[in-house]
Structure 1
Amino acid sequence: MSQHPTLAFIGAGNMARAIIGGLVSNGYPAEKIRASAPTINKLDDLKALGLFTTQDNVEAMHSADVVILAVKPQMFKAVLLQLAATAAQTKPLFISVAAGITSSSINQWLGGNQAIVRCMPNTPALVKMGTNGLYANNSVTPEQRTQAEEILSATGLTLWVEDEELLHAVTAVSGSGPAYYFLFMEAMIAAGEKQGLSRDMATQLTLQTARGAAEMAIQSDVTPAVLRRRVSSPNGTTEQAILSFQANKLETLVEEAMQACAARSVAIAKELGDD
C-alpha cells in the first residue's frame, strides 16, 4: 500500500493469522498492526513478529483506522456491543470475515452509522492462495474500499459483489469450496489404492494432478469445459470416466450440495442476526 493505516485484528485465529502473515511478508509494517485474543498463548507468536498484542479488544481498537473482526460468529454480538462506544467516537472501517453475519446486524450492534465491509474468505488464505468475496455497505468510502481490497489481497484473490445476498453464493462456491475438492481428492486416493497403488503414491498422484489441473485452468484462455473436452478423446480412457460421472449425475450432486451450503448460510444469518 502507498500508505499504511493502523490495523486492529479482533480475534487471532487462523484467518486473522493468514491475513497478518500475508501482510507482514508483503512488507506491511508490523508496528502498524494490533491484535487481541482472550488467551495469551494465541498472541505470543504474533507479538514475536513485532505486533502490539492485548487481551483487551477495546485497547486493540484504540487509534485503529481499520478493524478486522475475526471472532467466531456466535461471539460477534457480545464482542461488538463491547466495541460500540469506541466505534461511535473513532469511526474506523470494519471488515468482518465471519460467515452469515449481515452488515446490518454488525452495524446495529456497533451502534449504527458504521462503514462495514463483509468478506467471505476461504482456508487457502493460509498459503496465500485464498479467494475473498467482498461486500461494502453504503457508509464505505471509495478510499476504504481500496483499503479493504489491499488488505485482503495479501491472502489471494479479491472480488466484489454489489448485492450482499450474493455472499451466500460466494460461500457455496469458494468459502466452502476447498472442502469439496478435499473430498474428491480423498475419493481419488481411496480408488487408487483399491486399484493397487500404495497410499503414498496415490496421494502424490492425486494432489499433483489437482494442482496441475487448477494451474492449467487459471492460465488457459478457454473454459474448464473446453479443457475437459480436449483431454477426453472419443472412446478413450478419460471419456469413459467422464461418462460414468455424468451417468451418476455428478453435476446434479454438485448443484444440490451448493444449494444446501447457501441455504445454511442464510439460516446462520437468521439465527445469529438481529434483522
Structure 2
Amino acid sequence: MSSPRIAFIGAGNMAASLIGGLRAQGIPAAAITASDRGAEQRARIAAEHGIELFEGNAQAAAGAEIIVLAVKPQVMKDVCLELAPHLHEGQLLVSIAAGISCASLENWLGPRAIVRCMPNTPALLRQGVSGLFANARVSSAQRQQAELLLSAVGLALWLDEEALIDAVTAVSGSGPAYFFLLIEAMTAAGSKLGLPQATAARLAQHTALGAARMACESEVDAAELRRRVTSPNGTTEAAIKTFQAGGFEALVEQALNAAAARSAELAEQLGK
C-alpha cells in the first residue's frame, strides 16, 4: 500500500488493532487519523500509535482516501448521516460494523464505493480472519487497498455475494466463542478426571492452539487429520464415537444456522 491517507471513524479495540497492524506494516503515522468521542481513548491511541486523533468525525475524515467506519452498529446511521456532507468522490468506505448492509450505508451516505467486512476478535492479536464484500462502485485498486487493510490483522477473504456475510458471521465472526466453549468444557471435564484446574486449562488451550496450527499448515483437510490421529479401538476413537452419538455434527450445523439467521435479522433491524 503506497500510504494512502486512512481515517478511522471510531477508535475502539478493532480499530486500534487495525491501526497497530498498519503501523507494523510500515504505514507512517502521518497517513492515519482517527476520531473518538472519548478523551481518554483518544489520548491512549495517540500515545500508542503516534497518530492524530479528533473528537469530530468530519475532522478525521478530511482529506482521507480510505474511511474505515468502526463505530457500533447501533449508532452507525447517525454517524453516517453526520459524515455524508463531508465526503467527496473517489473515497473508499470500509465498514467493519456487524449487521449493516451496503444498501443501508448507501441510503445514509449516498452512492459510494463501499467494502463491507466481517472481522473477528482474534484480529486483536493479528490472528483474525475477515470476510469482505465490495459493492459495484469499488475499483480493483480499492479492492486491493481494502484487502491490505484487513490483512494487517490476519487473513482476508473475498465474497461474491453480500448475503454470504451472514454465513461468515456464523462461522468465523461468532466462531471464537465456540472454541472458547469447547476449551471451557474440556477444562471442566479434565478437572473432574482429577487434573488441577490450571493444568486442565493449559492442556485444553494449547491442544486447541496446536490443532489449529496443524489444520492451517497441513496440505490435507481436517477430516483427514482427524482420521490420522484416530486409531481403531483407541482412546481417540472412543471419544469421537461419543461425540457423534450425541449428534455433534448436527448440533454444530444447527448452531451455525441459528447464528446466520440472527445475523440476517439484526441486519434487517439495524438497517432501517
TM-score calculated relative to the size of structure 2 = 0.98
Letter in 2 for 1:67: I
Partner of 1:177: 175
Partner of 2:54: 54
User: Where do residues 55-70 of structure 1 align in structure 2 (5 Å cutoff)?
Assistant: 55-70=55-70
Letter in 2 for 1:244: T
Alpha-carbon shift at residue 219 of structure 1 (Å): 1.2
Q: Which runs of 5+ in 1 are unaligned?
A: none
Q: Note the alpha carbon deviations across 1:113-165, whole angstroms, 9 max, x for none.
A: 20000000000001110001000000100000000001110000000001000
Partner of 1:119: 117
Cα distance in 1 between the residues matched to 2:23 and 2:189: 41
Q: Spell out structure 1 runs of 4+ moving beyond 6 A.
A: none
Partner of 2:42: 43
Letter in 1 for 2:77: K
Q: Which runs of 5+ in 2 are unaligned?
A: none
Partner of 1:71: 71
Alpha-carbon shift at residue 91 of structure 1 (Å): 4.0
Partner of 1:156: 154
Q: Note the alpha carbon deviations across 1:84-108, whole angstroms, 9 max, x for none.
A: 1112x35410000011100010011
Alpha-carbon shift at residue 211 of structure 1 (Å): 0.7
Alpha-carbon shift at residue 45 of structure 1 (Å): 2.0
Cα distance in 1 between the residues matched to 2:217 and 2:93: 34
Partner of 2:100: 101
Alpha-carbon shift at residue 11 of structure 1 (Å): 0.5
Greater CA drift, 17-26 or 67-76: 17-26
Say which SS state the counterpart of residue 34 (structure 1) adopts. strand
Letter in 1 for 2:61: M
Cα distance in 1 between the residues matched to 2:134 and 2:79: 21
Partner of 2:254: 256
User: Where do residues 215-254 of structure 1 align in structure 2 (5 Å cutoff)?
Assistant: 215-254=213-252
Letter in 1 for 2:94: I
Partner of 2:263: 265
Alpha-carbon shift at residue 28 of structure 1 (Å): 1.1
1:128 corresponds to 2:126: yes
Tell me if the contact between 1:94 and 1:115 (Cα under 8 Å) persists in the aligned partners: yes
Tell me if the contact between 1:67 and 1:93 (Cα under 8 Å) persists in the aligned partners: yes
Say which SS state the counterpart of residue 158 (structure 1) adopts. strand
Tell me if the contact between 1:63 and 1:90 (Cα under 8 Å) persists in the aligned partners: no
Tell me if the contact between 1:19 and 1:154 (Cα under 8 Å) persists in the aligned partners: yes
Cα distance in 2 between the residues matched to 1:90 and 1:75: 24
Letter in 2 for 1:97: I
Letter in 2 for 1:61: A
Say which SS state the counterpart of residue 43 (structure 1) adopts. helix
Say which SS state the counterpart of residue 152 (structure 2) adopts. helix
1:200 corresponds to 2:198: yes
Alpha-carbon shift at residue 249 of structure 1 (Å): 0.4
Cα distance in 1 between the residues matched to 2:103 and 2:41: 30
Cα distance in 2 between the residues matched to 1:169 and 1:55: 35
Q: How many matched pairs?
A: 271
Cα distance in 1 between the residues matched to 2:229 and 2:89: 57
Cα distance in 2 between the residues matched to 1:211 and 1:9: 32
Cα distance in 2 between the residues matched to 1:240 and 1:194: 18
TM-score calculated relative to the size of structure 1 = 0.97
Alpha-carbon shift at residue 244 of structure 1 (Å): 0.2
Say which SS state the counterpart of residue 133 (structure 1) adopts. strand
Cα distance in 2 between the residues matched to 1:265 and 1:237: 38
Say which SS state the counterpart of residue 253 (structure 2) adopts. helix
Tell me if the contact between 1:107 and 1:113 (Cα under 8 Å) persists in the aligned partners: yes
Cα distance in 2 between the residues matched to 1:29 and 1:90: 24
Cα distance in 1 between the residues matched to 2:204 and 2:71: 34
Q: Note the alpha carbon deviations across 1:214-250, whole angstroms, 9 max, x for none.
A: 1111111111001101111111000000000000001
Cα distance in 1 between the residues matched to 2:39 and 2:68: 19
Cα distance in 2 between the residues matched to 1:252 and 1:186: 21
